[in-house]
Amino acid sequence: MGSGPRPPVRNPRRHGQKLTIDLTATVATTQAIQVVEGVDPALVFRIRTASRLTLEQWQSRGLELLSEGGDWDYVVLSPGDGTPRIAAELARYAAAPDREKAKATLSSFFGLIEAIEPYGPEDRLADDVAKALDGQPGPVDILIWAAPDATEANKRIGQVTAAIQAQNGNITATDPRARSPVIRAVIDGSAARLLASIPVIELMRPPVLPFVDPADWRDIRVNELESEHRNGVPIGVLDDAIAAGHPLLGTLVSASRSFPAGHAWQQPGPHGTMVAGLALYGDLETPLRDHQPFNSAGSVVQGRVIEPRPTQPHLHQFPQEQPEHLTVEEAIVALNDDHDVRVFVLCVTEVDPYSGPRVSLLTERLDDLIRERDLIVVIPTGNHGTDRTTAQMSNGAHVLHDYPDYVLDETGRVSEPATAALAVTVGSIARSAGPANLAGVTHIGHIAVAPVDGLSPFSRSGPGAHKGMKPELVHYGGNLVLRPDGGVASPESGTGVVSLALDADGRMFGVGSGTSYAAPRVARIAADVLDAYPDASGNLVRALIGLSASVPEPIKAAFDKDVCRVAGHGLPVSSGASVSTGLRTVLMGEYTMDTDTVAIHPVPIPTAFQSVTAARSIRIALAFDPPVRRTRREYLAGEMKFDLLRASTLDQVQSWYRNQGAGIAAKLPGQRQRPKLEPGREASANSTLIVRGVRRQQAFDPHDGDTYYLAVTHSSRPWASHGEQSYAVAVALEEEERQDVDLYAELQQRVRPRIRVRPG
């Protein structure tokens, strides 16, 4: 067994004296706060450490661990309002000799502590919340620190309840569960400020509201619908049948086909209609919330390839007459040939995670079709199964209490055909963390698992086949909610995705959660890009979508170095994928190169981009479509990489890379001339969509020159034949702070062709 984390090198006496000052100030600050009558006194403070400390280490110091943050930010409680027991132990630690590395009592504990800080009223109550309650008393959710058992939870609830009643507050609901005690009360600002001094309260906030109130769509009628439509390219929806006669579909379903012909189909479920609605409109929730017209584009072509299972109608299956890869191939070929469809969304995946080593026939055939026919196919990651009764994931983890760790478990890996290397695979994030029933009523005991813009608990993670990046993107697909009885609420109207449906009651909108509802939103973006650039290749469409994406902050905070495994390049934005502006200008191009060579692309850098200190970024996306073979160790026929070069001449870049494509490890320059791009190369190795970049707060050095160079390298696999490889590159130069520049105008005059470099 290991001995635990090693403390940083310290001078225990000086470090102990510094911590003693911290602790003394924290105790004094906390003791100065008004003690609420009837509430047990206690000191709550925050301790920041260099690495993990165990529950036992806190308990042995007489402290109750209340909360543990991702950056070793702990909140602890010391009973009573007197000097904490650790003060005497800290004094013993600080009594060590005055030198570094001196032996000291309890150095394995105090040596890891960086700082001790108060946890006070300002941590429990935001000032704007209190001010809002000054004018009119309102509802507040009062979160109480998780308790070690039900007895302690009830004790804490009782004390807070008494304090609320003493301030003439009105308690409307209570959730007494020890792991998540909450009180909902209607109080005014003065009561809120007093309650903020109670040690056992973690946080006071207004009730979390849904992104769109179910009342805004539950009973909406046809005469209340207003929509606007623009022409665009068709999207092939390979799914269950789409409901006929929906007023927001109408003629927008330009054709309906079923595959294979002659199959006796089951009655359709709502899945295909919801997917089609999101493919056409992209977003129905914002117009519903804001009471604005719905905006659709293009059309959908239905390709029915799945149906509800007879004994499990919530699940789907392909027709049984032939293998599913033949059914999907037949549908894609027919819709591409007969209806000119180039953008497809296929929202059906296997139940089990991909386990390798070879991909399925369906996955391989999708990659072949994408390459042969120059298509864009969007697929969800599949859903990580959850037992709705026990709230357990397939690996036994608890959907709420173990979130988000289980997302990275092998049982949560993407499902086929989401491993398709040339397809765009999409994971799910939550748009709402506000539970509500169909009537729009929130239940205090219902707890959303993911925060807003956090990863949906059912979303699957990478890597894909052969360690490729999967998913490449994420979009809004819903959330899960835990009920007071410990089960998962289903359906859940406040946190789910709203799309088109026709139910038995004539309701025109439905709600659901799943990665199937994230994928069609990305298909909508792909169709928008193709509409803006009708001659664009599938590679260029993928590159532009990837370039528009960014990872939401809650996912960065939750997953840190594993961000690419769960979110890929992030959440794409349609306008960012298809429009250049003066502040964000995209250079793009489509090319072919001989395999095992290097191509060099000049990248002009505007003068305005170099001269002033302000946040700005350069991001580069590359997409390519190599042949694939499921029976080979390396699934892809080739790999592509790129570097960005600055402060260099063209002759220098040519000399550095002349032998790179031939597989010779020539020495390349360091970060001065070859800046570090994020994420690192390994994040997108074995992937066909690569997005990397550099962001600076200070000016880009004018001495780096007004032209950088992008060196694109191709390396073939042993089984591949030599020839040419098609690819697309898109480079975005973006000003993030200044508004008085026009990058687009300057760059219009400076675009130059790429230069090929062949092996020497």
Residues 134-166 have pLDDT tens digits of 989 999 999 999 999 999 999 999 999 999 999
Q: Which domain holds residue 43?
A: 12-119
Q: What's the total number of domains in the chain? A: 4
Average pLDDT over residues 627-652: 92
**Residue where the block lists tokens 């173990």:** 402
Whether 595 and 706 map to the same domain: the answer is yes
Quick one: pLDDT at residue 758? 47
Q: Which of 350, 325, 176 is nearest to 260 (CA)?
A: 325
Which residue among 119, 140, 171 closes a domain?
Answer: 119
As beta bridge partners, residue 256 has 302
User: 545 and 400 share a domain?
Assistant: yes
Q: 708-740, pLDDT tens digit by residue?
A: 999 999 999 989 888 999 999 999 998 877 777
Q: Between vectors from CA 268 to CA 267 and to CA 274, what angle results, nearest 5°?
A: 165
Q: Are residues 505 and 644 in the same domain?
A: no
Reported as a pLDDT band with limits 50, 70 and 90, residue 752 is low
Using alpha carbons, list the distances in angstroms from residue 685 to 259, 523, 680, 719: 36, 24, 9, 18
Same domain, 703 and 735: yes
The CATH number assigned to the domain holding 605 equals 2.60.120.380
- Residue 584 predicted with pLDDT over 60: yes
Q: Within this chain, do residues 636 and 730 fall inside the same structural domain, yes or no? A: yes
The span from the CA of 430 to the CA of 367, in Å, is: 29
Instruction: Give the DSSP letter string of 319-333.
Output: -TTS-HHHHHHHHHH
Tens of pLDDT along 389-417? Answer: 999 998 999 999 999 999 999 999 999 99
Burial of 748 from C-beta contacts in 10 A (0-12 / 13-18 / 19+): exposed
Q: Please provide residue 145's backbone torsions phi and psi, each rounded to the nearest 5 degrees.
A: -55, 140
Does residue 5 lie in a domain region?
no
401 and 527 belong to one structural domain? yes
Nearest to residue 554, comparing CAs of 431, 453, 679, 447?
453
The highest-confidence range among 6-15, 326-335, 720-729, by mean pLDDT, is 326-335
Which pLDDT band, with edges at 50, 70 and 90, does 7 fall under?
Answer: confident
What pairs with residue 238 in β-bridges?
A: 303, 346
Tens digits of per-residue pLDDT, 177-223?
998 899 999 999 999 999 999 999 999 999 999 999 998 898 888 88
Question: Does residue 608 or residue 237 have the better pLDDT?
Answer: 237
Q: What is the model's pLDDT at position 68?
A: 87
User: Does the structure show a pLDDT above 50 at 572?
Assistant: yes
- pTM for this structure? 0.90
613 shares its domain with 529: no
pLDDT value of residue 751: 62
How far, in Å, CA of 254 to CA of 489, rounded? Answer: 37
Q: Is 574 among the domain residues?
A: no
Q: What does the pLDDT read at residue 578?
A: 80
Residues 658 and 642 both lie in one domain: yes
Instruction: Please indicate, yes or no, if residue 343 is contained in any of the structural domains.
Output: yes
Is residue 554 in some structural domain?
Answer: yes
For the chain, what percent of residues have pLDDT higher than 90? 72
Residues 233, 149, single domain; the answer is: no
Distance (Å, whole) CA 163 – CA 729: 63
Which of 119, 139, 163 is the endpoint of a domain? 119
What HEC string does 38-103 produce? Answer: CCCCEEEEEEEECCCCCHHHHHCCCCEEEEECCCCEEEEEEECCCCCCHHHHHHHHHCCCCCCCCC
**Residue 753's pLDDT is what?**
55
The answer to whether residue 317 sits within a structural domain is yes
Is residue 4 included in any domain, yes or no? no
Categorize the per-residue pLDDT at 121 as very low, low, confident or very high, splitting at 50, 70 and 90: very high
pLDDT at 566: 97
Evaluate whether residue 511 is within a structural domain.
Answer: yes
Query: 162 and 86 in one domain?
Result: no
Per-residue pLDDT of 494-540, as tens digits, reads 999 999 998 767 789 999 999 999 999 999 999 999 999 999 999 99
